[in-house]
Amino acid sequence: MYRTHTCGELRASHDSETVTLSGWVHRRRDHGELIFIDLRDRYGLTQIVFDPALNKEAHALAETVRSEFVLKVTGKVWVRPAGLENKELATGAIEVRITEIEILNKAKTPPFEIDQDKEVNEELRLKYRYLDLRKERMKNNLVFRHKFIKRLRDLMDERGFCEVETPMLMKGTPEGSREFIVPARLYPGTFYVLPQSPQQLKQLLMVSGMDKYFQIARCFRDEDSRGDRQPEFTQLDLEMSFVEEEDVMSLNEEVLTILLKELVPEKEIMQTPFPRLTWHDAMSRFGTDKPDLRFGMEIRDVTELVKGCDFKVFADAAAKGYVKCLTVEGGAEFSRKEIDDMTELAKVYGAKGLAYIQMEADGPKAPIAKFFKPEELEALVKAAEAKTGDIIFFSASDSFEVACNALGYVRLACGDRFKLRDPKKLALLWVTDFPLFEYSEAEKRLASAHHPFTAPKDDQIAQLDTDPKNVLAKAYDIAMNGSEIGGGSIRIHSPIVQEKIFKTLGISDVEIGRRFGHILEAFEYGAPPHGGIALGLDRILMLLRDEPNIREVIAFPKDSKAKDLLTGAPSSLPDETLKEMHVKCVEE
Ligand code: ASP
């Protein structure tokens, strides 16, 4: 028998019991006569003591052990005298005085220290992920992930949802990304595609009458710029029949609220029911479709006010587009460098520049001030509701999105600068009434803002023929602390409307048949009205654990360039394998 207890289990109540523990050497302290070891397993740490007076051989062997050796030890539980307990440890009331030790396995010196949460190069952490996962923080993240998903499954089950596994090897489904493909050995020249999401299959489950489906689903997306994305990630994917937008949103809100209250009681949900903003309001007021509502600092529109002014940049934008402003309390103290950094940030999001007014004690100061008459300047300051000590930033653009976005990112940077983004607070909200399409400048055509199965608003179906760009969708996103954590929609269930959407997207009849024939056909056999959503579980877990990226809550993630540093994937394959798969590699 390897153990009678775990390393996290023993308490004063076990006094004088003879116990056997197995685990890793977390830390070893040699005090001449006595050797102390903190023995570690998933459940905790126990201090074990080797005293030559108890067993000379055991003590001698303990002298040879090093960090991360795997031990099996037997000894007697000894309750520490009052005042000598280790308050830091759950097992701190006791120690175990060892009479027998067996070294189950030796360990090389690890490439980084396991017993400390020091900054370690991420490449090294990913290459030795099994060692990285020995660390307290990482282990806790994985256990939290398990608990979260377990409770989520139960909550879905209690609400009548049935978990159905959908295949990994399938035909592609468009979610706006490139797909991973798998050559089909049995059918030369053909391929399976790894799903970007179970979207079409969950809709087909609705046609089958499943009524309420969910899945903790793995999704695959092959994207160029990886950033904080993973080629494979996990969603709570769900779909419901006979529902409106409201039904899907309230179900999710209920489940999320329970989960957050139970699993992160130390965090405060700022507002329930979650606030709702239309896409247009979210953009106008916060410059993004996923606003961080932990703080105010709203964007204002001053387009009307600057029409025909002498500052050409504003006047031109106001004639065709938008001039927006953002008042930042305390921003008058920003240095030149800080203002330059904000300007660079705004430029990343398409702005040509960032005008500003600093509200000094002796009045507004700004390079642009000379273009405005005193009363015009006063009117701007008034509209911006700025007072002494503030700064007002302005963005001007022909495009609504650019004018809003630029200030949206400046707003977040100012939120960080003034520590307004408190990690102890959770601000959730729904964003609704998204445009159905986006115009892709690169491809000079319309693309689905969400995916092509999203239903347009009922009263706008006719507008698909005349003015598709302004059609709104029955779509909703949920955001938390400035991150999008999920999105979904009511779907099209009419084959006629679905076909119309494919055509509006510029997909030819032949393509429609080839790629989507199965779903159009399914809709002809009695498809119920239906809708659903997917929540990005990795992202949610990252936010709840206060982690800087999703790799910290995934056991074996790829690095930021989509490589698996542990196993070395992706890697080349032997020629015979390629031949068998009918695959030929072409030199670029
Ligand atoms: N399939 C969508 C996605 O992966 C979610 C949904 O519409 O339910 O984003």
Mean of per-residue pLDDT scores for the chain = 96
Rounded CA-CA distance 11/306 in Å is 72
Q: Is the pLDDT at 560 greater than 70, yes or no? A: yes
Of 194, 199, 233, best ligand 1 pocket probe by most atoms within 8 Å of the beta carbon: 199
H or E stretch including 455? Answer: none
Instruction: Output the CA torsion 132→133→134→139 (10° steps).
Output: 140
Closest residue by Cα to residue 411 from 342, 360, 354: 342
Eight-class DSSP state of 152: H
Q: Residue 171's pLDDT is what?
A: 87
What is the spatial distance between Cα 569 and Cα 133, in angstroms, rounded to a whole number?
Answer: 20
pLDDT digits (tens, 9 = 90+) for 23-58: 999 999 999 899 999 999 999 999 999 999 999 999
Contact in structure between 429 and 274 (CB atoms under 8 Å): yes
| Secondary structure class of 489 (helix, strand, coil) | strand
Classify 22 in phi/psi space as left (phi over 0), alpha (psi -120 to 50) or beta. Answer: beta
What is the helix (H) or strand (E) element at residue 7, kind and residue range?
Answer: none
User: Which of 174-183, 274-283, 429-438 is predicted least confidently?
Assistant: 174-183
Question: Does residue 237 sit in helix, strand or coil?
Answer: strand
pLDDT confidence tier of residue 226, bands split at 50, 70 and 90: low
Q: Where are the beta strands (DSSP E) in 205-347?
A: 212-220, 232-241, 268-269, 276-278, 299-301, 322-328
What would the pLDDT profile of 474-528 be if each residue is shown by its tens digit?
999 999 999 999 999 999 999 999 999 999 999 999 999 999 999 999 999 999 9
CB neighbours of residue 312 within 10 Å: 10
Which residues is 39 bridged to in the sheet? 25, 46
- For the domain 295-420, what is the CATH code? 3.30.1360.30
Model confidence band, residue 225 (pLDDT cutoffs 50, 70, 90): low
Place of tokens 């030796």: 106
Radius of gyration from C-alpha coordinates of the chain: 30
CA 110 to chain centroid, in Å, comes to: 30
Let me know: does 28 contact 36? Beta carbons within 8 Å. yes
Per residue in 568-584, pLDDT (tens digit) is: 999 999 999 999 999 99
Average pLDDT over residues 412-420: 98
Q: What angle do CA 6, 10, 14 make, to 5 degrees?
A: 130
Give the dihedral of Cα atoms 68, 73, 79, 85; nearest 10 deg: 0
CB-ligand 1 contact for 532 (6 Å cutoff)? yes
Please give the Cα distance from 280 to 278 (Å, whole number). 5
CA–centroid distance, 515 to ligand 1, in Å, is 18
Q: What is the CATH number of domain 12-105?
A: 2.40.50.140
**Which atom of ligand 1 is nearest to 453's Cα?**
7
Instruction: Say what the pLDDT of residue 118 is.
Output: 87
Task: Write out pLDDT tens, residues 91-114.
Answer: 999 999 999 999 999 999 999 999
Does residue 533 have its Cβ closer than 6 Å to ligand 1? Answer: yes
Report the alpha-carbon distance of residue 358 to residue 338 in Å, rounded. Answer: 13
Residues with Cβ < 8 Å from 579, sequence gap 6 or more?
A: none
**546 Cα to the center of ligand 1, angstroms:** 25
**pLDDT score recorded for residue 175:** 82
Helices 245-263 and 136-158, axial angle in degrees (round to 10)? 140
CB atoms inside a 10 Å sphere around CB 377? 18
Tell whether ligand 1 has an atom less than 6 A from the beta carbon of residue 175: yes
Ligand 1 centre distance from Cα of residue 536 (Å): 10
* Helical segments of 35-135, H only: 56-64, 122-127, 129-132
- Ligand 1 atom 7 nearest Cα: 488
Question: What pLDDT, on a 0 to 100 scale, did the predictor assign at position 359?
Answer: 97
Q: From ligand 1's centre to the CA of 174, what distance in Å?
A: 10
Q: How far is CA 243 from CA 201, 510, 540, in A?
A: 18, 32, 25
Class of the CATH-defined domain 161-261+445-575: alpha beta
Q: Is-contact 51 63, C-beta < 8 A?
A: no
- The predicted model gives 174-200 an average pLDDT of 94
Positions of E strands within 383-448: 391-397, 425-426, 428-432, 437-440, 445-448
Q: Best of 166, 170, 175, 238 to mutate for ligand 1, by most ligand atoms within 8 A of CB?
A: 175
Residue 216 pLDDT class (50, 70, 90 cuts): very high
Predicted pLDDT of residue 246: 97
Helices (H), 133-270: 136-158, 199-207, 245-263
Q: Enter the tokens of residue 504.
A: 């509006």
Tell me, what's the pLDDT at 146? Answer: 98
Phi-psi region of 523 (alpha: psi -120 to 50; beta: other; left: phi over 0): alpha
> Is the pLDDT assigned to residue 416 strictly greater than 70?
yes
Structural tokens at position 119: 């900054």
Dump strand ranges (E) for 157-211. 162-163, 181-183, 191-193
Query: Is the pLDDT assigned to residue 238 strictly greater than 90?
Result: yes
CA–CA gap between residue 556 and residue 538 (Å, rounded): 12
Parallel, antiparallel, or unpaired: how do β-strands 276-278 and 428-432 relate? parallel
Phi and psi of 169, rounded to 5°?
-90, 110
**Residue 528 is encoded by which pair of tokens?**
């119920």
Q: What is the dihedral of CA 492, 498, 501, 506, to 10 degrees?
A: 150
Is the CB of 487 within 6 Å of ligand 1?
yes
Reported confidence tier of residue 439, pLDDT bands at 50, 70, 90: confident
Report d(CA 132, CA 139) in Å as an integer: 9
Whole-Å CA distances, 399 to 73, 432, 471:
70, 21, 18
Residue 71 has pLDDT above 80, yes or no: yes
* Residue ranges covered by each domain of the chain: 12-105, 161-261+445-575, 295-420
- Whether 199 is in the pocket of ligand 1, judged by its Cβ within 6 Å, is yes
User: Of 535, 534, 553, 533, whose CA–CA distance to 543 is shortest?
Assistant: 553
Tell me how far the alpha carbon of residue 484 lies from the centroid of ligand 1, in angstroms.
12
Per-residue model confidence (pLDDT) at position 442: 81
C-beta of 477 in contact with ligand 1 (< 6 A): no
Tell which one of 170, 205, 216, 235 to mutate to probe ligand 1, the residue whose CB is within 8 A of the most ligand atoms.
235
- Distance (Å, whole) CA 195 – CA 173: 6
Taking the alpha carbons of 549, 116, 118, 104 in that order, is the dihedral positive or negative? negative
- The response to whether residue 534 sits with its C-beta less than 6 Å from ligand 1 reads yes
In this predicted model, what pLDDT tens digit does every residue of 99-158 receive, in sequence order? Answer: 999 999 999 999 999 998 889 999 999 999 999 999 999 999 999 999 999 999 999 999
Ligand 1 nearest atom to the CA of residue 454, by list position = 7
